[in-house]
Every structure is written in structure tokens, then in C-alpha cells.
Copies of this chain bind each other. A is one copy, B any other.
Amino acid sequence: MAALSFELAGVDSNSKARAGVITTDHGVIQTPIFMPVGTVGSVKAVTQQQLYSEINAQIILGNTYHLYLRPGVDVLEAAGGLHHFNGWHRPILTDSGGYQVFSLAENRKITEQGVLFQSHIDGSRHLFTPESVMDIQRSIGADIIMAFDECPPYPSEYTYARKSMELTHRWLDRCFARLAETPDKYGYTQNLFPIIQGSTFPDLRRASSEYIASCNATGNAIGGLSVGEPEEMMYEYTALCCDILPADKPRYLMGVGTPWNILEGISLGVDMFDCVMPTRNGRNGMLFTTQGVVNIRNKKWATDFSVIDPSLDCETSRYYTKAYLRHLFVANEILALQIASIHNLAFYLWLVKEARLRILAGDFDSWKKNIIPVLKQRL
């Protein structure tokens, strides 16, 4: 079938925000977009039916590291790929596992060849190389697959960051080479996105952005941010990368972030975002709403019988009251996790949809400036 394509539908005149349409073999994605994280093939506490009908997710993430360990490539291949395994028939993106190898795995040893590590589940030993990670992602069968990279921590020494970036670039070449040697497994096209690294050093970020831009991939990613650096620094390097990346390809800022991070990222020219925040924080009782941030465990909500967020086109947000959701959290009911996760994801999808409408309407920048203080306020 066809490689991923990207059409710009509109650009904002007062910022670098863009509205676009990504077309994949599993359907289109209207950008800017937020991608719910489904690490092991399930967005935590949310059914696929709810992702389709309540959240209106257009694309979800899977994670190569987790899916390789459980259920494993044999099961995924026998199923005919992740779409058939989990019943999500819209686009899927898989992270390469690079980030997880560094954040989760034990006793990792990094060499030119790849990374030797022990599973965080059972201590078993595994080797990830650019080639093996491409092969695993072939078996998973996501529409968008990510290059195998090293994501240095913040802060990093300049020398380490430079060597790491250079290794990531050599690994990227091997990823592209391996992908070219191996056919699509399930009859549709998989698209490799390379990842910019370079930590928080302008010359490294610039060099990495130029290298990644030169690959002429169908889309490009900005990695190594949102790893503990100050917010302003994240925006600064996002801007630097966006300005070098080609304008006619989608740009993906990995692992970002809060609602306001996403709006700022959009204004800098980012098209795609993912983050565990809506689900993870939701499971801890933190709700993002069109009126501001709610800590639903707070006693003040005990007799607030208003619905969670009447402004969202999501049945869950408009059906359950704050008082009921607070009760479910206090009583440790599983339904609390479900409602909070569905609501927060519906909010994130509303946010990027609204941003897109504002870009197309021409008032994105002023809308963004007005809404960020509202979204940030603690209710």
C-alpha cells in the first residue's frame, strides 16, 4: 500500500502552528494530534470501544520494549500484528524501546552493536540492536515505527551528549538499512520516523536536526526533551528543532506533556504528541478540565453534584458527577480509574481538536494565550 503522506491544511499567521492531515494505510489523522499511550497494547483502564466512541482517539501508541517482553513477537505475529491482537484498527505508532531500555531495564550495557539488558519483569537477558528493533517493530506492525536511539538524561555532559548523538545517528542509518531489506509483514506500509537527540546543547541539537532532516523520512521526531529540563528550555529546543525540520513532514515531540506544554508545542510547529500524563495522573485523581485542574480526592468535591466537564463531547465527562467520582476514588473502586482516564484523554483530544479549529479559523495564538491561564488554574 502507500507510504505515510502529510498535507498542510492551514498555518497560523501569529505563530508557527499548523493544521494538517496525515494519511496512513489505517486511515487519516487530523493534526495537531495527541496520541494516547497503550504501552502493552492497552490504554490503561480504557476499552477500545471507549477509545473509538468517547475519546475519539485517532492513533494510539504501543511500546516495543513492553510488547517484545509480553506477549512477545511470536504471539503478535500469530495474531497478524498488533491491530488484530488488540482490536484497534486505526493507526498505531510504536516507540522503539530505546527510552525504556534506559529507564526500566536493569544491568544495561551499551555498545556500538546495541544494548544488552535484563528484563524488568523476570531478569532475563536480551540484546536490542537497531536491526533487532526494526525486526520486532515489523512483527508488531505499527503504521509509524520509531528509530532505535539513546536518550541521554538531563543534565548530560557535553562530551557524553555528543557521543550519544553520534551513536544514535549511526544506529539510525542501520535502522533505515534494515527496514529497506525487510518487507512489510501484513500488507500495509510501515513508516520509520527518525529521532533528533543532542540533549540541551544548541550545536548538537542543530547538527542532529540537520542530520535527521536530511534523511527525508515521512515524518520526524524530537526526542530527549521533557526529561527533567526546565519548561522554557524544552520550548527553546523544540523551536530550534522545528525550524530545521522540513515543513512538509509531520513533527512529533515525544513524551510531551501538560495541556499547556502541548499548546506551546503546537505554536512552535509540532504536529504530534504523546504522554502518559492524562492516564497516569488520572489514576491518581488529577483531572484536566476545560475549567482548570481538579484534585478529585479533595473533600470540597464530596457534595458537588455537577458533572465532571459539561463542555466535552464525551459521555463519561457529562454523565458522572464530581461527588460520585470522588467517592469512587476514596473507596478505591476500579471505576474511578476508568472514569478519570476516559475523561482526561477526552480532554486532551478535545484540546488538540480545538487547537486545530483555531488554527484554521486564524485565531489560534490569541485563543492559546487566553485559555492557558484557565486550564492551569487549580479548582
Contacts and interface: CB of A to CB of B under 8 A. Distances in A.
Interface of A: 40-49, 66, 70-71, 74-75, 78-79, 84-87, 302-303, 305, 315-316, 319-321, 323-324, 327-328, 330-331, 333-335, 337-339
Contacts of A305: 78-79, 84
Given A324-B87, A328-B42, A303 B75 contact: yes
Give this chain's copy count.
2
B70 A335 contact: no
Given A303-B75, A338-B338, A315 B49 contact: yes
A167 to B, nearest CB: 31
A320 B42 CA distance: 12
Given A71-B323, A78-B303, A40 B338 contact: no
Given A70-B330, A75-B323, A327-B71, A44 B335 contact: yes
A195 to B, nearest CB: 26
A11 to B, nearest CB: 39
A40 B70 contact: no
A46 B339 CA distance: 10
Given A70-B330, A78-B303, A78-B305, A49 B335 contact: no
A367 B114 CA distance: 62
Contacts of A302: 71, 75
A334 B331 contact: no
Contacts of A75: 302-303, 323, 327
